[in-house]
Amino acid sequence: MRVLIGSTPDEVARIAAENVLAGLARHGAGADPVLGLATGSSPLGLYRELARAVQEERADFSQAQGFALDEYIGIPDTHEQSYRQTLVNEVCNTIGLPAQSLHVPQGMAESVEAIEEAARDYDASIAQAGGIQVQILGIGSNGHLGFNEPGSALRSRTRIKRLAANTREDNARFFDGIEHVPTHCVTQGLGTILDAGRLVLVAIGAGKADAIAAAVEGPISASCPGSVLQLHQDAVVVVDEAAAAGLKLREYYDDAAEELTIVDIAVH
Ligand code: GLP
C-alpha cells in the first residue's frame, strides 16, 4: 500500500488524480479506461483534476466505461440524490464520460429478488468490461467502503445492504430529514472492490482520521471494511494532514513517497 499525504485538499486532489491516470495506464494496457466511481465529497477535487487533465488533453474518457460503487434502494434514478444523478452531475458532465457508459447498481425494481438478480448481473457486467482498472474510493467515518458497513464479509460481492444508523445520520444532510434517507442500498462488495486493478482512496478532514488509522494500520477486520485495502496489491491512500493525524508510521510513508532513483541504486 502507498500512503501519500498532501498538505491541502487541493494537493490531495492533484496527487490522487495523477495516481488514477497512472493506474489507468498501468492496468488498462492500451484498452479504453474502465473506472470505478465513488460519490461523496472526498473525491470531488479528484474529479475536478481529472477534468483539467481532459482539458489539457492528458486524458480522454469519451470511450470510457464507469461503474458506480453503490446506489440507494427505493429512490428513482431521476431523484437528485440518487447516486446515478449525482455521478452524472459531478463526474460525467465534468470529465466527459458519456452518461450511457455509466453503470450504476439497480436500486428500483418490482421485487427484492429482481434487485438481487440485478446485483449479480452488475458484477458480471464489470467482468464483461474487462474488470475495473482503477477504483476511486472514499471512506465513511465508520470505516465503510461504498456502503459495505462494519460487519461486511471481506469477500462479499455486489448485493443489498442495510445502512448503518450513523451512515444514515451522516447522509441526512442531503435529504429533507433522516426519515427520508433510504434504509437500504445495493453496493459493490468488498470482494468486488478488491478485484480492481488499482484502488485510489481519498480522505480529507479530521472526521476521517480514526477510520484511516484503522484501515491502514489496524487489523484486517470486518469491523473496519476499509482494512481490506491491506489485502490489495496496488492500493494508494491519499489523505490530507488532518485525516493522517492518527497514522503511527507517518515518517515511513513520507520517506517511501520519494521515488527510487538510479542514484539510490548506485549508492548501495
Ligand atoms: C457515502 C458513500 C461512500 C463515501 C462515504 C463518505 O455514504 N456511499 O462511497 O465514501 O459516504 O462520503 P464523504 O466523502 O462525503 O465523507
Average pLDDT over residues 185-195: 98
Which residue has the least CA distance to atom 13 on ligand 1?
Answer: 40
Residues near 92 by Cβ (< 8 Å), separated by ≥ 6? Answer: 66, 98, 99, 102
Distance CA(89)–CA(146), nearest Å, equals 19
Average pLDDT over residues 257-265: 76
Q: What is the largest CA-CA distance in the chain?
A: 66
pLDDT for 30 equals 83
pLDDT for 267 equals 62
Ligand 1 atom closest to 171 (CA): 7
| Full residue range of the structural domain in which residue 138 is found | 2-265
Distance CA(190)–CA(151), nearest Å, equals 11
CA of 181 relative to ligand 1 center, distance in Å = 14
Which residue has the least CA distance to atom 12 on ligand 1?
Answer: 40
Q: What is the b/e burial string over 247-259, where b = at least 16 CB atoms within 10 angstroms of the residue's CB?
A: beeeeebeeeeee
Query: Is 142 a known active-site residue?
Result: yes
Q: For ligand 1, is residue 196 a contact (CB within 6 Å)? A: no
Which residue has the least CA distance to atom 5 on ligand 1?
Answer: 140
Phi/psi at 243 (5° precision): -75, -20
- CATH code for position 42: 3.40.50.1360
- Residue 1 CA neighbour count, 13 Å, CB half: 21
What digits encode the pLDDT tens for the residues 20-56?
A: 999 999 999 889 999 999 999 999 999 999 999 999 9
CA of 139 relative to ligand 1 center, distance in Å = 6
Averaged confidence pLDDT in the chain: 95
Beta strand pairing call for 159-162 and 70-72 = unpaired
pLDDT for 29 equals 81
What digits encode the pLDDT tens for the residues 115-150?
A: 999 999 999 999 999 999 999 999 999 999 999 999
CA of 259 relative to ligand 1 center, distance in Å = 31
Distance CA(99)–CA(68), nearest Å, equals 12
pLDDT of 268 above 70: no
The whole-model pTM stands at: 0.96
CA of 40 relative to ligand 1 center, distance in Å = 4
Residue 209 neighbours by CB distance under 10 Å: 19
Contact 144, 150 (CB under 8 A): yes
Query: Is 241 a known active-site residue?
Result: no
Weakest-pLDDT range from 5-9, 73-77, 237-241, 262-266: 262-266
Distance CA(136)–CA(236), nearest Å, equals 10
Q: For ligand 1, is residue 42 a contact (CB within 6 Å)? A: yes
What digits encode the pLDDT tens for the residues 83-101?
A: 999 999 999 999 999 999 9
Q: For ligand 1, is residue 139 a contact (CB within 6 Å)? A: yes
pLDDT of 265 above 90: no
Contact 165, 86 (CB under 8 A): no
Residue from 82, 139, 190, 212 whose mutation best tests the ligand 1 pocket (most atoms within 8 A of CB): 139
Q: Hey, what's the cell of 211?
A: 477510520
Weakest-pLDDT range from 172-186, 201-215, 248-262: 248-262
Give the count of domains, the chain. 1
Residue of 18, 27, 103, 144 marked catalytic: 144
Distance CA(45)–CA(63), nearest Å, equals 22
pLDDT of 178 above 90: yes
Q: What is the DSSP letter of 157?
A: -
What digits encode the pLDDT tens for the residues 59-70?
A: 999 999 999 999
